[in-house]
């Protein structure tokens, strides 16, 4: 025995579902305002079908809901009757509700109700994508077209359709026509699929008096993360995003969200991460309520291998990165990553992810590790860039440019457009007369951006415009350096040295 709850237009779909779950754990949600209940076993608690229906309507009225309730032996019959009649409807006035009573009760229902039930047969899912919604719209149009076809045949009600021979219906309308014929008799096409309630991974604690500071808050967080971790472990879930909501005495909610690098459910690691985040973003007033919530994700499967290098556990790595961020500042810790630009020295900071593949990351033989090479650096006497005195390039020693993170200001004397003397105050860079020079190599970019150019620097956030000439020079002391001058300011800098 089933009961269909059909709410009025504009009703809260969640409230309709809550009314259904108040009576039966086996609840199926179809459209946002339509719910089916499995009433098996409820007669021993509430009485006969009419008493159950009256109790459902009374509960809905207490929650300010207007519901149509229909009770029948099948889900299809209850849905059709709930759409057709207002108030409380029973498929049979007697105590026995069976397939025959369902067929008789739905015989007078118009065909349009059957089209609505058939087009929305799939249980309602709030996460439907655009393709699913498009298929549902096509199903509605198909149902309306079939109703027009049946009306041209002279049919008006479900009893008229059920009276036709099923073989003739199949021959003219195909498999969908057979579905309609069974539904017109009040028969179900599929079993009930219970809608699982949304499971919330959240813990809250109301404090007897406000607290301030991290030390008392750490004890509160420990009490909250223990049951939260146990709940996650029972469901084999981990925390993908951790939310911390602190209700302050000023009626303001101080909220933080932590994006975790890997699914974590260790309570100690979660508490440490929360405290480190609160250390950099402390609550501005006393706290009288603490709430921790998790966006769950399937737990990770760890199977170590003897063929790959050992890496730290995600909990340890996340804790270490949180401590470094608290010490150095947000966004200042991670792995350097290249930027899609030609500006020398440009980089960005990406989240640190250890290499778990076990691949050899050393450069190939003859390849400089941190170098920016010019073609002339390896040119031989013949001008061939690939050989030096007949020795293949792969067997030559690599020439690397050791670039200074902050270019060193220099005073450069220029004669006939070429640098002839370099003087700098940097210890270890003595400067002196230029014996050999090569250049200039002119480079510029990002002139279309609004960010101003900063001489001699490269931002790790926004790539500013640059416009400069570069020179490679060898001084009298034998040192070889990379110089550049900003063409806008004519300031000179030592960018690095070759070794």
> What domain count does the chain have?
3
Same domain, 174 and 209: no
pLDDT, one tens digit per residue, over 304-363 is 667 766 666 666 777 777 777 777 777 777 888 888 788 777 778 887 776 655 454 444
Q: How far is CA 234 from CA 197, 237, 267, in A?
A: 16, 8, 14
pLDDT, one tens digit per residue, over 355-386 is 655 454 444 443 333 333 444 333 333 344 43
Within-domain flag for 269: yes
How many other CB atoms sit within 10 Å of the CB of residue 103?
20
Task: Record the tokens describing residue 26, joined without a space.
Answer: 């086996």
Q: Any idea what the Cα angle at residue 100 is, between residues 99 and 106, rounded to 5°?
A: 90
> What pLDDT does 376 receive?
39
The predicted model scores a pTM of 0.47
| C-beta separation of 214 from 275 below 8 A | yes
Task: Record the tokens describing residue 356, joined without a space.
Answer: 């778990």
> What pLDDT does 127 receive?
43
pLDDT, one tens digit per residue, over 57-73 is 888 888 888 888 888 88
Within-domain flag for 59: yes
Within-domain flag for 13: yes
Mean residue pLDDT across the chain: 79
The structure tokens 């207490």 sit at: 62
Q: φ, ψ for residue 148 (rounded to 5)?
A: -65, -35
What is the domain range of residue 419?
A: 375-498
What percent of the chain is predicted at pLDDT more than 70? 80
* CATH number reported for the structural domain that contains residue 111 in this entry: 3.30.70.270
Q: Is 64 left (phi over 0), alpha (psi -120 to 50) or beta?
A: left
Q: Which of 298, 318, 349 is the last residue of a domain?
A: 298
Q: Which of 267, 298, 329 is the last residue of a domain?
A: 298
**Confidence at 248, pLDDT banded by 50, 70, 90:** very high
Within-domain flag for 66: yes
User: What is the average per-residue pLDDT within 88-98?
Assistant: 77
* CATH number reported for the structural domain that contains residue 246 in this entry: 3.30.1490.100
């Amino acid at each position: 025995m089933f009961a269909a709850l059909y709410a009025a237009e504009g009703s809260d779909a969640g409230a309709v579902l809550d009314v259904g779950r108040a009576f039966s754990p086996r609840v199926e949600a179809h459209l946002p305002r339509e719910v089916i209940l499995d009433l098996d076993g409820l007669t021993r608690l509430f009485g006969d079908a009419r008493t159950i229906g009256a109790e459902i309507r009374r509960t809905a009225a207490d929650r300010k809901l207007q519901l149509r309730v229909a009770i029948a032996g099948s889900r299809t019959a209850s849905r059709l009757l709930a759409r057709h009649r207002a108030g409380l409807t029973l498929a049979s006035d007697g105590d026995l509700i069976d397939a025959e009573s369902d067929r008789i009760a739905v015989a007078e229902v118009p065909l349009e109700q059957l089209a609505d039930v058939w087009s929305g047969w799939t249980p309602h899912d709030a996460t439907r994508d655009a393709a699913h919604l498009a298929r549902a719209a096509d199903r509605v149009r198909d149902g309306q077209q079939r109703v027009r076809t049946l009306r041209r045949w002279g049919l008006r009600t479900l009893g008229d359709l059920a009276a036709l021979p099923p073989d003739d219906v199949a021959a003219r309308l195909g498999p969908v026509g057979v579905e309609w014929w069974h539904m017109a008799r009040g028969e179900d096409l599929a079993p009930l699929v219970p809608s699982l309630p949304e499971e919330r991974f959240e813990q809250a604690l109301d404090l007897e008096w406000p607290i301030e500071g991290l030390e008392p808050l750490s004890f509160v967080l420990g009490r909250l993360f223990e049951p939260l971790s146990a709940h996650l472990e029972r469901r084999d879930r981990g925390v993908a995003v951790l939310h911390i909501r602190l209700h302050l005495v000023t009626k303001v909610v101080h909220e933080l969200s932590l994006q975790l690098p890997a699914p974590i459910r260790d309570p100690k690691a979660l508490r440490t991460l929360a405290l480190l985040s609160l250390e950099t973003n402390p609550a501005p007033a006393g706290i009288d309520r603490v709430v921790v919530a998790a966006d769950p994700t399937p737990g990770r499967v760890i199977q170590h291998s003897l063929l790959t290098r050992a890496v730290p556990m995600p909990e340890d790595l996340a804790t270490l990165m949180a401590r470094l961020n608290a010490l150095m500042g947000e966004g200042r810790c991670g792995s350097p990553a290249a930027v899609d630009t030609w500006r020398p020295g440009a980089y960005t900071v990406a989240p640190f992810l250890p290499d778990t593949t076990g691949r050899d990351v050393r450069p190939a033989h003859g390849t400089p590790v941190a170098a920016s090479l010019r073609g002339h650096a390896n040119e031989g006497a013949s001008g061939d860039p690939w050989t030096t005195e007949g020795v293949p390039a792969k067997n030559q020693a690599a020439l690397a440019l050791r670039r200074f993170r902050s270019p060193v200001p220099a005073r450069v004397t220029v004669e006939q457009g070429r640098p002839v003397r370099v003087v700098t105050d940097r210890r270890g860079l003595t400067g002196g007369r230029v014996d050999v020079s090569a250049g200039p190599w002119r480079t510029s970019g990002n002139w279309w951006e609004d960010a101003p150019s900063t001489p001699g620097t490269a931002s790790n956030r926004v790539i500013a415009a640059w416009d400069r000439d570069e020179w490679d020079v060898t001084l009298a002391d034998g040192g070889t350096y990379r110089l550049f001058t900003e063409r806008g300011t004519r300031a000179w800098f030592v960018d690095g040295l070759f070794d």
